[in-house]
Amino acid sequence: MQNPFDFSQRTVLVTGAAQGFGRAICLAFSQRGAQVVACDIQKDRVDETAALCGARCIALESDISSPEAVSALFASLAARGISVDILVNNAGGVVGQKGQPLEDVTFEQWQAIVAVNLNGAFLMSQAAVGAMKQQKFGRIINISSGAGLGVSLTGIQAYASAKAGQIGLTRQLAHELGPWNITVNNVAPGFVRSNPSTEKQWEAMGSEGQKRHIDNVAMKRLGAAEDIAHAVLYFASDWANWVTGQVLSVDGGK
Strand order across the 35-40 sheet: 57-61, 35-40, 11-15, 86-89, 138-143, 182-189, 247-250
Examine the residue annotation and report whether 234 is marked as an active-site residue of this protein. no
**Nearest to 183, CA basis, from 100, 103, 88:** 88
Work out whether the CA dihedral 226, 123, 154, 47 comes out positive or negative: positive
DSSP 8-state code for residue 242 = T
Torsion angle of C-alpha atoms 11, 13, 17, 20, degrees rounded to 10: -80
Query: Is the separation of the CB atoms in 245 and 171 below 8 Å?
Result: yes
Q: Among residues 159, 163, 222, 250, which one is catalytic?
A: 159
- Distance (Å, rounded) from C-alpha 98 to C-alpha 88? 26
Any long-range contacts for 36-42 (C-beta under 8 Å, 24+ apart)?
Answer: 36/11, 36/12, 37/11, 37/12, 37/13, 37/77, 37/82, 37/84, 38/14, 39/13, 39/14, 39/15, 39/64, 39/73, 39/91, 40/15, 40/16, 40/91, 42/18
Active site residues: 159
